[in-house]
Chain A
Amino acid sequence: MRFLLDVDGERRAIEVEPIAGGFVIRIDGALYRVHARPAAEFVDVRIGAKRYRLRVEGNEAIFGDEVHRLRIADVSEDRGDVVEGRPAGKGAVVDVRSPMPGRVVRVAVAAGTSVRRGETLVILEAMKMQNEIPAPGDGVVRQVAVAEGETITADRVVASIELRGPSAS
């Protein structure tokens, strides 16, 4: 299961995978093994040696006498085979988004270019570092949505790619 969770104004993309007695929770590459036992009023949660007893009421999570405000969105039951939020089947067109704001210093592909998984599409400079945005899979570039020199925001679509299914490659 995947969803966006905003706690006290800070948003995170959450992936949940059930395991025996709990879940593996992934947050942007970090991994937490969480044991959770729901009771009538509380949920008892254990992460490593840490134990939490919390209650979710309305849009609030309550730990003892602390309250966090929650927002939840984009809940999906998808697991695993997704690229940037969409199923990546044969012929699927996926949007590749910028992981951070920055300045486009190089566009390495054009519409029609065949790309392999991991190949650089765009180089984005942020905080004096050049960051390569790679193709999420093998396929053909349908559209490039940014230009060299342009300053872009996080989550902005930089290109869309029509993926070749595993059978075609």
Chain B
Amino acid sequence: MFRRLLIANRGEIAIRVARTARELGIHSIGVYSEADRDALHRTAMDETVAIGGPLPADSYLNIAGVLQAAHDSRADAIHPGYGFLSENPTFAARCAEEGLVFVGPPLDAMALSGDKIAARKSMARLGVPVTTGVDRPLGSVEEARAVAAEIGYPVLFKATAGGGGIGMSRVDRPADLATAFESASSVALANFGNPDLFMEKYLRRARHVEVQVLLDARDGVGFVERECSVQRRHQKLVEETPSPAVGPRLRTRLIDTAVRGLRGLGYRNAGTVEFLLHDGRFTFNEVNARLQVEHPITEMVTGVDLVRQQIRIAAGDGLEVSQSELAHHGHAIECRINAEDPIRNFLPSPGRVVGYREPTGSGVRVDSGVAAGSVVPPYYDPLLAKLIVRARNRGQAIKLMRRCIEGYEIRGVQTNLPFHRALLQTQQFVKGDLWTTMVADLRIAARLRSRGPWEERVAAIAAALVASGRLARGETFPLERPSVAKWALAGRRERLAGGGHAVSARRRW
């Protein structure tokens, strides 16, 4: 087993990995950018190393900087988390050169997964059904037009080197094809350094389901599927397991296919195979060669610590679980809590968290990267925290999630909690009728009018000020540097939580 693990990430996932490292008795080494000097993830580590400026390219994406930090802190392994360097073959190769164990798949398997066309071809060769499309980069608009005519509209452009939904562009009619081709190609070049696009048939009203797989040198297991159909612009917002659309027979086929597919790529460690589910049939979408954001829902229903298994596999200690003894209990849901304002078209909302309180209780897990006083920098992705619940069945999990959303208080930055509140009220979600464009099709964010109880209280105060004529008389209190009255906050939190023995903010006799 490793002695010292460097965690090359930030936010909630860095904290999540450090937790398991501690349980395994491994010394954890964190890294941080200048913008993260006071970040919460630093407090979760045994030690931390500064790696550069606020921009990702200068810090969390800076291969030389991360390797230097690993060298200086005498790390023997690196866990990359997700995003940043997690699926970067150059980084994995450099780790190997430096004698560091990269906690992830072997280089070849990572490169193969990262090339979407190569992954499609490999899967097809292994007998995995793939979505109708072309397995070559499209050289020109004319070629794209010919292919689209052949497979039929709507079609979807995808970046060969893409990921995370970036560079994907849906085309409904021939007239829109040229513009979509140019823009998807330039987005792909800007984000992945490679403008190559390929094309797939776009499946309307498809569900996104995926299978988590763990593979070591001898054995492999596939977990009960996760459904991640609630997305906005191809970004997942809510995930759950099991999928309400998958029965035992389909489940067995999905799991077998995923394990067989990844093994066929020469894969080791944790990986996920994504499928589209359409009219009861599934087709391969892509491989995610990393730990995924939504991994906790799998942990909640199976009791398996996926990060622990990742580290064990990387250290050569092997899997602790086998397919036959793997069981799942109940239903888990995750809501991604992002610093985005759903009322203003998900406008990013960096800033300082001035008030923070997490929901608690049985079956509730919050993986958070922030606490009261945290600064949310504008440089990184907007994920603040993940709210995860597990209950006996889907209906109870939804009720528990609703209660948790009401009890989750994040003030100072806008969050997408109001979106989640509205989503969990829609008939479609409650019935388990999910599809990848449901957020846009149902106009869930566009219909939002309120940000919830706290802002409603602000509106009440504003109305009282105006109604009582206070403002007309020119009675204003100048804005000063924002200060949080701690006792007032504590009191209000207790009250919002409905505690019978609430501590009053300042009792007035």
Contact = CB atoms under 8 A, between A and B. Distances in A.
Nearest to B478: A73
A12 interface: yes
A120 B495 CA distance: 45
Nearest to B354: A9
A32 B450 contact: yes
A111 interface: no
Interface string B31-71: 00000000000000000000000110000000000000000
A67 B460 contact: no
Give the top 8 A-B pairs by smallest Cβ distance, nearest first: A9-B482, A32-B459, A36-B467, A43-B464, A127-B348, A34-B463, A9-B484, A127-B382
Contacts of A83: none
Contacts, number: 203
Tier of interface size on chain B = 35 or more
Contact of B466 (A16, A29, A102): A16
Nearest to A153: B378
Interface in A1-32: 1, 3-12, 14, 16, 22-23, 25, 27-32
Contact of B459 (A1, A3, A34): A34
Interface residues of A, number: 59
Contacts of B475: 72
Interface of A: 1, 3-12, 14, 16, 22-23, 25, 27-32, 34, 36-38, 43, 45, 47, 50, 52, 54, 56, 59, 61-63, 65-73, 75, 99-103, 126-129, 131, 151, 154
A18 to B, nearest CB: 8
A60 B228 CA distance: 45
B488 A38 contact: no
A50 B452 CA distance: 12
A15 to B, nearest CB: 9
A70 B245 CA distance: 50
A127 B504 contact: no
B479 interface: yes
20 contacts: A12-B458, A14-B462, A27-B462, A36-B466, A36-B467, A43-B467, A43-B468, A45-B460, A52-B457, A54-B460, A54-B461, A56-B468, A65-B505, A66-B504, A70-B477, A71-B477, A100-B347, A101-B351, A127-B350, A151-B54
A100 B378 CA distance: 8
Given A10-B411, A28-B344, A67-B508, A75 B459 contact: no
B347 A99 contact: yes
Contacts of A43: 463-464, 467-468
A64 B463 CA distance: 17
Contacts of B449: 30-32
B330 interface: no
Given A23-B466, A100-B348, A131-B348, A29 B343 contact: yes
B277 interface: no
B462 A63 contact: no
B493 to A, nearest CB: 10
A124 to B, nearest CB: 9
Interface string B235-258: 000000000000000000000000
Contacts of A23: 462-463, 466-467
